[in-house]
Amino acid sequence: MAENAPFETLLLSAANGRRVVHLDRPPLARGGEGTIYRLANEPLVAKLYHEPSTEREAKLDAMLADPPRLPPLQKHGRAYPQLTWPLGRLEDTRGRFLGYAMPKLELERTAPLEYLLSARGRRALGLPDDYRFRLKVAYQLAHLVAELHAHGHHLIDLKPGNFHVYTDAPVVAVLDTDGFSIRSTERQYPAHVYTDGYIAPEALQQSQPPEQLGEAQDRFALAVVLFQLLNQGLHPYQGVPNGRDQLPATNGERVQAGLYAYARQAHPQLAPSPWSIHSHFDEALHDLFERAFLKTRHRPAAQEWTEELKAYLDPHGNRVSACTADADHLQFRKGCPWCANAADTRQQPAPKKSDGKKKATSKRKAPSSNAQATASLYRVDGATGQRTPLTLAARLGNPMGGHRYDIAGIDNEHAIVFRGRRPRHDVEKRIDDMLRAPPDTLSTVSDGENLMLFEWPTARIEDPAGNFRGYTVLTDNKIYHSNLGSELGLPPYGWSRQERRLTLAKHLCTRLADLHNKGHCVIALDPRKIHLPYISFQEPNVRLTRCANFSINSHDGNRHPARQRPSPEYTHPQALLGQIEANALGQRQDEYALAVILFQLLNVGIHPYDGVWETGEKTGRRTRELRDRVAQRLYPYGRKGNARLRPMAESKHKTWSRPLQRMFEQAFAKQRPPSAKQWLRQLERETAEPTWMRRLFAAVLPQYT
């Protein structure tokens, strides 16, 4: 309704009465729930719902009846709105509810709070690098949450991505307040959105929706965000594993397992990050964090955080003082943590003169030659952080693998991709998160050759000022088949073709399980993007390429979305039918694509929704026809078959074992595909049964048995 609203005139019912207002087109923004418009000659904007409902109307009335006392802050003669709380309801001229009016927030004056968490983010968006600025933001955030809690309202999805901070003042602003959990005189209106890594452990352990926890959920999430603000952007459950124990890969899983690494008593499995400054915190601050993450029932309220952080900002107090070595530092009572970690150049604020030089040189043209471009570049190892000059043993004339980079080359077993212009900040964050959490096994040895399994970044490339310019990835000089898709038409090479494909299927499941274990996803998983080596025909393997395009799990609990969309035949039914984006499905998208590829590998290349109609005509390959078959779940290869669609004559599905048939039925008839680990366990069992193998090869390739 909102996007194509025919009305220009609306009725605004606010605390100061009822009046006529006018929409100012075009819309400012469109979202999943509604569209935002300016209101002409008003310091307000309008949110008009796509689908107004009595539930939304009742929740809005509850918000209007009990607003928090958070007026715009006045600093330096300017107003800084803190949240976009509804100020009045909007109706059409017939009195039908449409949405609400809220304060106008000048987003161009703000930056997402998550950029304040890292030095590079602050430099990219012009945020102050002064630690006192982050202390003030932490105080303002705690005060804002405390005021909401005083009225019985809860944010639930409390995370850095849902807050903005003004670039010229330490003031926090909150958007989308109608998504909060709101208390009325009769009931609590729930919030249905929450983010992994910020969900309270008791909700995860008891399989309880976070909104049912209410304030307890907010208390946990607030403590996580405050920890990130005060401790170099680190998540409190992010650290360095001790020993060889297999630990959960994602922050959410570590929260559930209680792996808090920054307590005063060391954790036996997880050590603090070397960039952490928590050891300099006062005892009172340590107490609050340990209560938040170790003592569920005694978790600090937002008001406690407000009072503690206010003490750090008291100019007459002794909690912190100016550092004599650097104005951007603050000295705790235990000393200055940045000066103590001066050797860590990546965590130090950039010198002022360097900042000026970067601005002066940022408009220069990209280097005209590879030699000039790489003359002053450095390779920063992803594991150790060691910085070494970059040299090229060989140079390629064209960008490698279709990357939009100026040059590419080979340095020992690393491919180098580099841009003359500085890449966008989101590219830098993506590569840094890939370096933080690579798959456990990036390469293997086969027939005495080192075989790369992932085209994964191994190091940053920086210029002398520490600016990100590119990255290196694992590569080798082996020759590969173009892709797994071509394998379907290749000769057997002395092995049974089906046995070779079974081995490839197991290796593919292993690659995907390794990736999922770190919280990453491919999303655009496709046989044409899976490479096979010519070497080692006795043990075929697979390699995942262009990993920088994958959906990458971020250390702050958010995700970097995949840069490519899956092709229709490998797209999860929910995404194919337009119900949800493939990126939002995450591992479920990968699991569906994996099931399709396994089906094709084990069934002479047939797609699971291909077949023969009752008329004898074969199914078409056009996307619209495939979408229709998927929507109707016309999977003809189950044990009971399908009344409308028969299997292809060449299909070998009847030779499969019952457990394998059930797994494919679960994937396509029920559209609940098994995980990569489940497929791997079943394929291992299948290949361990010689009777089944003999029956399979006799049916598929009798000339080779």
Whether residue 443 is contained in a domain is answered as yes
For 366-412, the pLDDT digits (tens) are: 333 343 444 456 677 766 666 677 654 333 333 333 344 444 444 44
For 485-522, the pLDDT digits (tens) are: 655 544 433 345 567 778 888 989 999 999 998 899 99
Range 620-646 average pLDDT: 84
For 316-372, the pLDDT digits (tens) are: 877 888 887 777 788 788 888 878 776 444 444 444 444 444 344 333 333 333 434
CA dist., res. 475 & res. 73, Å (int): 54
CA dist., res. 228 & res. 20, Å (int): 45
Residues 157, 182: one domain?
A: yes
Range 179-186 average pLDDT: 92
DSSP state letter for 551: B
pLDDT beyond 60 at 666: yes
pLDDT beyond 80 at 531: no
pLDDT at 494: 37
pLDDT at 539: 56
Whether residue 512 is contained in a domain is answered as yes
pLDDT at 220: 96
Residues 462, 497: one domain?
A: no
pLDDT at 487: 57
Whether residue 2 is contained in a domain is answered as no
pLDDT beyond 90 at 85: yes
pLDDT beyond 90 at 640: no
Query: H helices within 5-115, ranges in order?
Result: 54-65
pLDDT-derived band at 226, boundaries 50, 70, 90: very high
Domain that holds residue 390: 372-474
For 416-459, the pLDDT digits (tens) are: 555 545 566 678 888 888 988 888 887 776 555 567 788 888 88
Residues 241, 379: one domain?
A: no
Per the listing, tokens 């650097």 go with 326
The domain that contains 565 carries what CATH number? 1.10.510.10
Final residue belonging to a domain, choices 105, 130, 160? 105
Question: Hey, what are 625's tokens?
Answer: 């026809």
Residues 514, 617: one domain?
A: yes
Residues 462, 496: one domain?
A: no
The residues pairing with 22 across neighbouring beta strands, listed in sequence order, are 9
**Nearest-10 Cα torsion for 565, 571, 577, 581:** -40
CA dist., res. 530 & res. 267, Å (int): 40
Whether residue 356 is contained in a domain is answered as no
pTM: 0.54
For 271-323, the pLDDT digits (tens) are: 898 888 998 899 999 999 999 999 878 899 999 999 999 998 888 877 888 88
Burial class of 81 by CB neighbour count within 10 A (0 to 12, 13 to 18, 19+): buried
pLDDT at 318: 78
Range 603-616 average pLDDT: 88
Residues in the chain: 705
Residues 175, 237: one domain?
A: yes
Range 536-540 average pLDDT: 50
Question: Hey, what are 242's tokens?
Answer: 């001790």
pLDDT at 477: 46
Q: Are 192 and 217 in contact (CB under 8 A)?
A: no
Q: Which of 15-24, 83-92, 139-148, 245-254 has the lowest mean pLDDT?
A: 245-254
pLDDT at 497: 58
Q: What distances in angstroms separate CA 57 from CA 53, 61, 211, 654, 697, one per listed residue?
A: 6, 6, 20, 56, 65
Whether residue 331 is contained in a domain is answered as no
pLDDT-derived band at 555, boundaries 50, 70, 90: confident
Question: Hey, what are 417's tokens?
Answer: 């991709």
Residues 424, 514: one domain?
A: no
pLDDT-derived band at 662, boundaries 50, 70, 90: very high
Considering only residues 232 and 555, tell me which one the structure prediction assigns the higher pLDDT.
Answer: 232
pLDDT beyond 80 at 593: yes
Whether residue 323 is contained in a domain is answered as no
Whether residue 326 is contained in a domain is answered as no
Residues 96, 169: one domain?
A: no
Residue 511 Ramachandran class (φ > 0 left, ψ -120 to 50 alpha, else beta): alpha
What's the structural domain count of the chain?
4
Residues 579, 660: one domain?
A: yes
Q: CA 604, 608, 610, 616 torsion: positive or negative?
A: positive
Q: Are 227 and 239 in contact (CB under 8 A)?
A: no
Residues 196, 132: one domain?
A: yes
Final residue belonging to a domain, choices 445, 474, 503? 474
| Cα 104 versus chain centre, distance | 29
Q: Give me the DSSP letters along 600-628.
A: HHHTTT--TT--EETTSPBPP-SHHHHHH
Residues 424, 506: one domain?
A: no
pLDDT beyond 90 at 632: no
Q: Give me the DSSP letters along 164-175.
A: EEETTSS-EEE-
CA dist., res. 201 & res. 195, Å (int): 13
Final residue belonging to a domain, choices 428, 447, 474? 474
Range 21-38 average pLDDT: 83
Residues 99, 135: one domain?
A: no
Whether residue 341 is contained in a domain is answered as no
The domain that contains 80 carries what CATH number? 3.30.200
Range 469-488 average pLDDT: 61
What average pLDDT is seen over the chain?
Answer: 80
